[in-house]
Structure 1
Amino acid sequence: MGNPAATIPSFEELYAQIQALPEHLTGEIVQPGVLRTMSRPGRRHRRAAKLCQQSLGPFDLDAGGTGWWIEAEAEIRFPDGRLFVPDLAGFRVERVPELPEDNPLTILPDWCCEVLSPRTASDDFAIKLPFYARSGVSWVWIVDPTHRLVEVFETVAGRPTLAAIARDKDRIALPPFEGEISVGSWWLPGPEA
């Protein structure tokens, strides 16, 4: 007699495990039925995420700006039983006039930002970036604080397409936001790693 087929845990079962994680850990469902846990990010990552969010203040309705809801580390339920926690996610106010208090959010963002960490960089590029595009997220930023680089991807025909790059101390318009953004302050001082 053969072994019974392994049952894939449901989204609800995995999400209950995420909620039970200790405070120093967070979790995502990057592949259906598979829980990925990770520790909180290091200083380089935290600084880039914080200063990126501050740079977007003129666009964030919660920060007195206009046009967007910018959320830090929001849990977002994606199709196919996945749960992603992008470092930043943006929702256009014209499409989402009131951002619900739901957790996880089931409204997909218009923009996501992933700040790379050594442990998660591969998944951010190989799994999350193409999945965001296939799911209809219009724009994705990949922020690399080690190499002082921001890559902006636009979704074209369900695929991520490189649309802009900002390096080191560039002051440049980064779609989908209008107006120049200075990325120089996002990086820790010292030589590029």
Structure 2
Amino acid sequence: MGRGKRPATYEDIEALPPGWVGEIIDDELWAFPRPARWHARVASVLGVRLGATFGVGEGGPGGWWFVDEPELHLGRQVLVPDLAAWRYERAPGLFERDEPFFDLVPDWVCEVLSPSTAALDRGRKLPLYHREGVSHAWLVDPRAHTLEVYRRGARGWRFARYGGEEVVRAEPFDAEPLDLGRLWAPRSMPTPGP
């Protein structure tokens, strides 16, 4: 933050134009317009697939609360991952309070990368998620057709990368296979350009 510049506040987020998403990271306001269609599609497909299997337990183990674009209040940080999930046993009363944000650190977060957010997601948010105690983080790149899986270690993230049409078992949802080919735009649709 620059000299003499005041720390960002929640009022700065509320003052953003309609349709913009705001986050406060290390006292700085970061604001972005709503994501592109292909970004939203990947997040939606992933949320439906994981939510059905691991959230409500249709054909899978269940045991997780999934939320699309939750607003996380972690100390002074305000973060909005594309997806987040909490294990039932760690967050049994997650939805008992009627607030528009979550202050319990998720067990898993997922960021879908876009050209306007990739540097922030990798450079600022990923280390912050580690520091706050998130156990797993995924970075999904719809342009490169890749899934990066991060597992929290004592000194940093442990990392695995998958791509293309692979069918993978990615932590923490490795109890069931995930077909990456289903995440990307169907072949009849043009792949997003640079």
105-114 or 64-73, which moves further after superposition? 64-73
1:96 counterpart residue number:
91
Displaced runs of 4 or more, over 4 A: 62-65, 190-193
1:29 counterpart residue number:
24
How far 1:60 moved relative to its partner?
Answer: 1.1
Q: Identify the match of residue 150 of structure 2 among 144, 150, 153.
A: 153
Percent identity at matched positions?
A: 38
Q: Identify the match of residue 119 of structure 2 among 97, 104, 122.
A: 122
Compared CA separation, residues 77 and 188, structure 1 to 2 (3 A): same
137-146 or 91-100, which moves further after superposition? 91-100
Task: Describe the superposition over 1:76-105 as per-residue Cα deviations: whole angstroms up to 9, x where unpaired.
Answer: 0123x1111000001000100121342321
Counterparts of 1:113 and 1:96, CA distance in 2: 18
CA contact (8 A) 1:28 1:83 kept: yes
Counterparts of 1:128 and 1:73, CA distance in 2: 14
Compared CA separation, residues 29 and 186, structure 1 to 2 (3 A): same
Q: Identify the match of residue 176 of structure 2 among 176, 179, 183.
A: 179
1:53-72 map, 5 Å? 53-56=47-50, 57-61=52-56, 66-72=62-68
Consecutive unaligned residues in structure 1, runs of 5 or more = none
Matching of residue 169 in structure 1 with residue 165 in structure 2:
yes
Report how many aligned residue pairs link the two structures.
183
Counterparts of 1:59 and 1:71, CA distance in 2: 12
102-111 or 140-149, which moves further after superposition? 102-111
How far 1:189 moved relative to its partner?
Answer: 3.3
Counterparts of 1:23 and 1:63, CA distance in 2: 36
Counterparts of 2:24 and 2:31, CA distance in 1: 9
Compared CA separation, residues 158 and 74, structure 1 to 2 (3 A): farther
Root mean square deviation, CA, Å:
2.1
- Aligned partner of residue 94 in structure 1, secondary structure: helix
Compared CA separation, residues 28 and 172, structure 1 to 2 (3 A): same
CA contact (8 A) 2:57 2:63 kept: no
Compared CA separation, residues 64 and 6, structure 1 to 2 (3 A): farther
2:69 counterpart residue number:
73
Consecutive unaligned residues in structure 2, runs of 5 or more = none
Compared CA separation, residues 173 and 64, structure 1 to 2 (3 A): closer
Counterparts of 1:63 and 1:120, CA distance in 2: 33
Counterparts of 1:59 and 1:43, CA distance in 2: 25
Counterpart residue type for residue 140 of structure 2:
V
How far 1:158 moved relative to its partner?
Answer: 4.5
